[in-house]
Structure 1
Amino acid sequence: MSIVITGNPGVGKHTVAEKIAQRLKLHIIDINNIAKESGLLEENKDVDTDKLKIILGQKILDSNLIVGHLAPYVLDKKQVRIMIVLRKSPYDLIAVYKNRKYSDKKIKDNAGSEILGVIAHDAINRFEEKAVQMDITGKTIEESEERIMSIISNNKGNEDVDWLDLVTKNNDLRKFFAD
């Protein structure tokens, strides 16, 4: 069974996954790369998750470190030892997305998804006790790495992350959800 790191684009999945993989001497399986290599990434960036799930089922035979935002949608519970959902403040993500030159619509879509906890919800719904959330807002890579190692060692450590409450208190719903 594999360790999985997932979360919205821009939260730091790949950066921290490289550190964890080195530390645990695990091979990284990058879901996005497999989708691209398999020709499953369409021009609009949609992915045929059913086909990707089949391909991943053939590739994931040993313990690995799997990384990608599509993890909750393309993996089976039996493939996963633990799924860590990285979460980051939507306010911080805006800067990341602007730096990546995302369109305004894509910024709102991704930040809105983080606010609503879409990936976290879907991961917890499908993987139950194997899925945990971790807020990495303001943490260094090293701090995130140590926290993830602790979660992996203990098989627990879920954090309650509620960006909707924060955005509502800041009266910023329109900033993230209005056109």
Structure 2
Amino acid sequence: MSIVITGNPGVGKHTIANEIAKRLELQILDINNIAKDSGLFERDEDTNDVDTAELKKIINKKISKSTLVVGHLAPYVLSLEQIKKMIVLRRNPYDLISVYKKREYSDKKTKENTGSEILGIIAHDAINQFGVKVFQVDVTAKSVLEVTDKVMSVINDEDSSEDVDWLDLVAKHDDLKKFFAY
């Protein structure tokens, strides 16, 4: 069974996965790279859609207990028996705006991704699919070392999931229109 690092774009999945892989001497299985290399991304305006059913078949052939799986598509292409623990990295949506600016995301793509983080879409979908195997870690204002140590504590059953609620934060700031078009 594999350890999985997932979360929205910009939360630090690959950075943390690289650190965890070093500590645990695991090979990284990057879901996005597999999807790209397999030609499964379909470009639609400024978003990429992926054939998750086909991607799941490919992942099934590549996953092993010596792999650390990383990617935001993890909840949609893995099955319960394949994972030991799934760590969902979460980050303050206000911080994500600057990350997406540096990546030159369009306004639409920025809103889609920050909106997903605010609503906890990946966390919700992961919990629905994998239940008690899912652990949330808030990476906001933490160093790579702090997050890596926290994730290692979760993996080693020394720490638990964090309760992350960005919707309440955004609502308190009366910023729903900043993140959602309605």
TM-score (norm 1): 0.98
- Alignment-derived partner of residue 16 in structure 2: 16
**Paired residues of 2:2 and 2:68 also in contact (CA < 8 A):** yes
Q: CA deviation at 1:80?
A: 0.3
Unaligned runs of 5+ in 1: none
**Paired residues of 1:16 and 1:141 also in contact (CA < 8 A):** yes
Which residue type is aligned with residue 33 of structure 1?
A: N
TM-score (norm 2): 0.96
| 1:46-103 residue CA offsets vs partner (Å, 9 max, x unmatched) | 0000000010001113331000000000000100000000000000000000110000
- Alignment-derived partner of residue 29 in structure 2: 29
Instruction: Note if 1:158 corresponds to 2:161.
Output: yes
Secondary structure (helix, strand or coil) at the match of 1:154 reads: coil
**Paired residues of 1:151 and 1:157 also in contact (CA < 8 A):** yes
Aligned residues: 179
Picking from 100, 113, 122, the partner of 1:110 is 113
Q: Higher strand share goes to which structure?
A: 2
Secondary structure (helix, strand or coil) at the match of 1:43 reads: strand
Picking from 92, 95, 100, the partner of 2:95 is 92
CA distance in 2, matches of 1:15, 1:61: 21
CA distance in 2, matches of 1:178, 1:106: 12
Which residue type is aligned with residue 163 of structure 1?
A: W
Q: CA deviation at 1:155?
A: 6.9
Taking a change above 3 Å as real, the CA distance of residues 66 and 155 of structure 1, as seen in their structure-2 partners, is: farther
- Alignment-derived partner of residue 80 in structure 1: 83
Taking a change above 3 Å as real, the CA distance of residues 54 and 5 of structure 1, as seen in their structure-2 partners, is: same
**Paired residues of 1:87 and 1:136 also in contact (CA < 8 A):** yes
Of all paired residues, the percent bearing the same amino acid is 64
